[in-house]
Amino acid sequence: MITQQLIDQIEGEASVYFDMKNNLVDFATIAFPHFRGMEAILEGKSALDALVITPRVCGICGHAHLMATVRALEDAYKNAGYPITLTKKVEIIREFTLIMEMIQNHFKWIYLTIIPALAKLNGSSAQQTPLKGAYGASLASKAIATFAGQWPHSSYMVPGGITADPTNMDVLKVESYVDELISFFEKESLGLSLDSFLAFESCKEFEGFESDIFSLERSLVALRMHEKGLAYDRFLVIGEHSFTKPSKLHQTRPFSVDAKFVNIESAFSPKQKSYAKNAQYKESFYEAGPLARAIATNVPIVKNMHRRFKDSAYSRVMARVFELASLLKVSKELLREIDISQESCSNVVDITKISAKGLGVVEAPRGPLLHSITIEEGKILEYNIVTPTQFNIGSSSEQNPTPAQKAMVGLTQEDALFIFRTFDVCSVCTTH
């Protein structure tokens, strides 16, 4: 028997087709049916137009797309013989605003997707939690907008720097947003201090606390999510950032990684046309995102989860929770390092002098985001985008399933749909 489920409450929509056997998922194919054509729109435009167009790929992670674009442009400048040097101030502010975007995404995902989905599986209600997610996300968005001018769809990163020139008052304002965000997370989500939570080294330390996050953890265990949702147990981190390090991991064993080995294949979607392609690394599927980033940086609590529960739905969800907490702490540290006396932007040669290829890689909320550009005399000949959802939630054959496909096999449809959401799917990014 084949059944179709339309996945909403994500950015865009996706269709999952379940092949059922004895009331359990025997195989699943995934379709992203809405074409958007962002890559085609960019062809023939000035390369600098990408700074305005690509942030509109997504309403949640547009900032990550902006950073991937500016990194691709700066790489093209370097390859054309015009290397660009950024000040420390520029690097910190770019990194900070990206982190704030990741934080707002994680707040929304936890409170608007995961907690309500768990409540539905439990047959209980999750009262007021969406409002908590929206409030936490709004504080992070205000912090971004203070430096970037607006959020979403900001374009304040440019080749050579940023268009912002913040004052001490701006930095203090952003610090107040971060302090309020941490206080809100401690009071409403954790029920204990951020530092105490980040000091956890074992899953057993979750016992005895009463708060949203600890209730979430208990729900995952009660629904046996620590035994479900297992994929390949191999992970991929490609972007260079302060909060993780590039690695290809087989379980917890790290190997070097190079973005040039990312390859794309057509999706297997026989029941409905899909405009999403699959992303692989050296022709193999890897899981990307917070769990991968935590394992790459040896986060003690996540290593403990993985040792006990491998790449289960439990590990996947709780790793994202811990990344949210960790990023809040990193953001405070970054703000203390900003020297507003440094230059915000350096002069670069006119874009019309650039004929080269460039690649920009960023760790977006859901995993690696790659933008590649081919420029001829300042015009875009070709633009390609590879998104985290293409790594995690592609649709391949039964003989070689993607991480999400593999993780859903052997479960009831209800559990499989929850597992699907643990990868934090984004349709609009993927059908570019």
Is 177 within 8 Å of 142 (Cβ atoms)? Answer: yes
71-108 b/e (C-beta count within 10 Å ≥ 16 → b): bbbbbbbebbeeebebbebbebbbbbbbbbbbbbbbbb
Task: Give the tokens for residue 383.
Answer: 């633009």
Task: Give the tokens for residue 199.
Answer: 């000091």
Q: How many domains does the chain have?
A: 1
Q: What is the pLDDT of residue 4?
A: 73
Q: How does pLDDT run across 164-215, given as a tens digit for each residue?
A: 999 999 999 999 999 999 999 999 999 999 999 999 999 999 998 989 999 9
Q: Confidence class of residue 129 from pLDDT cuts 50, 70 and 90?
A: confident
> Can you tell me the mean pLDDT for 373-391?
97
Q: What is the pLDDT of residue 123?
A: 84
Q: What is the pLDDT of residue 130?
A: 87
Q: What is the pLDDT of residue 260?
A: 96
> Can you tell me the mean pLDDT for 313-328?
98
330 pLDDT more than 60: yes
Q: How does pLDDT run across 388-418, given as a tens digit for each residue?
A: 999 999 999 999 999 999 999 999 999 999 9
57 pLDDT more than 60: yes
Bin 229: left if φ > 0, else alpha if -120 < ψ < 50, else beta: left
For residue 237, the one-letter residue type is V
Q: Confidence class of residue 430 from pLDDT cuts 50, 70 and 90?
A: confident
Cβ-based neighbour number of residue 119 at 10 Å: 17
Is 58 within 8 Å of 428 (Cβ atoms)? Answer: yes
Can you tell me the distance from the alpha carbon of 393 to that of 188, in angstroms, rounded to the nearest whole number?
Answer: 31
Q: How does pLDDT run across 228-279, given as a tens digit for each residue?
A: 999 999 999 999 999 999 999 999 999 999 999 999 999 999 999 999 999 9
Please give the torsion angle defined by the CA atoms of residues 313, 222, 194 and 181, in that order, rounded to the nearest 10 degrees.
80
> Can you tell me the mean pLDDT for 93-116?
96
350 pLDDT more than 60: yes
Can you tell me the distance from the alpha carbon of 163 to that of 343, in angstroms, rounded to the nearest whole number?
Answer: 10
> Can you tell me the mean pLDDT for 278-288?
98
Can you tell me the distance from the alpha carbon of 25 to that of 420, in angstroms, rounded to the nearest whole number?
Answer: 12
Q: What is the pLDDT of residue 8?
A: 62
> Can you tell me the mean pLDDT for 96-106?
97
Percent of the chain with pLDDT over 70: 97
| Paired sense of beta strands 262-265 and 278-281, if any | antiparallel
Q: What is the pLDDT of residue 221?
A: 97
Q: Confidence class of residue 226 from pLDDT cuts 50, 70 and 90?
A: very high
What is the SS3 string spanning 6-72?
A: EEEEEEEEEEEEEEEECCEEEEEEEECCCCCCHHHHHCCCEHHHHHHHHHHHCCCCHHHHHHHHHHH
Q: Confidence class of residue 1 from pLDDT cuts 50, 70 and 90?
A: low
140 pLDDT more than 60: yes
Q: Confidence class of residue 103 from pLDDT cuts 50, 70 and 90?
A: very high
> Can you tell me the mean pLDDT for 304-332?
98
126 pLDDT more than 60: no
Tell me which DSSP letter residue 261 carries.
G
Q: What is the pLDDT of residue 429?
A: 80
Q: Confidence class of residue 58 from pLDDT cuts 50, 70 and 90?
A: confident
Q: What is the pLDDT of residue 388?
A: 95
Can you tell me the distance from the alpha carbon of 55 to that of 44, in angstroms, rounded to the nearest whole number?
Answer: 18
Measured in residues, the chain has a length of 432
For residue 421, the one-letter residue type is R
Q: Confidence class of residue 36 from pLDDT cuts 50, 70 and 90?
A: confident
Q: Confidence class of residue 11 from pLDDT cuts 50, 70 and 90?
A: low
Q: What is the CATH number of the domain that holds 319?
A: 1.10.645.10
Rg over CA atoms, the chain: 21
7 pLDDT more than 90: no
Average pLDDT, the chain: 94
Percent of the chain with pLDDT over 90: 88
Task: Look up the domain containing 30 and give its range.
Answer: 2-430
